[in-house]
Copies of this chain bind each other. A is one copy, B any other.
Amino acid sequence: MTEQLSEIQVSSTELFQGQLLRACRDEVRLPNGAVVMREYVVHPGAVMVIPLLENAHGQIELVLERQFRYPMGRVMIEFPAGKLDARESCFDCAVRELREETGYTAAQWAHAGTLNPLIAYSTEFIDIWFARHLTLGQRQLDDEEFLEVFTVVPDTFFAMCQNGEITDGKTLVAALWLQNMQSGLWSLDWMSC
């Protein structure tokens, strides 16, 4: 079945190499023999962290961020996330991004799954991690990074996903994992660090 749908690379050209983005244009052969163009962004991959914070009453709160996202032209609500550095593992990246962006370190981590945010024109994957037993330290934002950290209880978070306050795709996928993790339908393997 895969073979009947597959597209085969004929040639590949770099469209541009920007400061942030790299894009390619490839000629590909379709299953019917025709040759067409495919243009896409080349991305090293990323991670997203779903941080579970116990408040003073022993209830779970979620650590979220507000960040201005220029392509959207507005402030977006999202879970901590970031790109992999060269030769960095997804887990190391998750630990680093959580610490840099929120100041938290986690005693326990669990891998959930992976998502591909834009399969039509980006190679990006986002690896999804849960973090719990958090300790607050110092944030280490880049000079050019501006974001606010806040917490909400899961019920409020799910309401924001329903009413359109949250539209970031990766954060909505995190809601799917969180909901099924909380209900016990989807289990996680927690590891201590």
B interface footprint on A140-171 (CB within 8 Å = 1, 0 otherwise): 00011011100000000010011010011110
Kindly state the interface size class of chain A when it binds its partner.
35 or more
Cβ B40 vs Cβ A116 within 8 A: no
In the bound complex, how far is the Cα of B117 from the Cα of A146, in angstroms? 21
Cβ B146 vs Cβ A5 within 8 A: yes
Quote the shortest CB–CB distance from A182 to chain B (angstroms): 12
- The copy count of this chain in the complex is 2
Given contacts A113-B164, A173-B169, contact A70 B21 (CB under 8 A): no
Q: Tell me if A136 is interfacial: C-beta within 8 Å of chain B.
A: no
Question: Most chain-B CB neighbours within 10 Å: which of A78, A116, A125, A179?
Answer: A116
Q: Which residue of B lies closest to A31 (CB)?
A: B146
| Set B120, B126, B172: member contacting A69, Cβ < 8 A | B120
Q: Is the interface of A mostly helix, strand, loop or mixed?
A: mixed
In the bound complex, how far is the Cα of B116 from the Cα of A83, in angstroms? 18
A32 / chain B contacts, CB cutoff of 8 Å: 143, 146
Cβ A38 vs Cβ B70 within 8 A: yes
Cβ B118 vs Cβ A148 within 8 A: no
A38 / chain B contacts, CB cutoff of 8 Å: 20, 70-71
A121 / chain B contacts, CB cutoff of 8 Å: 20-21, 41, 71
Cβ B118 vs Cβ A7 within 8 A: no
Cβ A68 vs Cβ B7 within 8 A: yes
- Given A113-B162, A158-B185, 12 more pairs with CB closer than 8 A: A1-B75, A6-B68, A15-B21, A32-B143, A36-B144, A69-B120, A113-B164, A126-B169, A162-B186, A172-B173, A173-B176, A179-B179
Could you jot down 22 A-B contacts, CB within 8 Å?
A1-B66, A5-B67, A5-B75, A15-B16, A15-B21, A16-B16, A18-B23, A18-B37, A32-B143, A40-B70, A40-B71, A69-B119, A69-B120, A71-B119, A76-B119, A113-B162, A119-B168, A125-B167, A162-B186, A169-B169, A169-B170, A179-B179
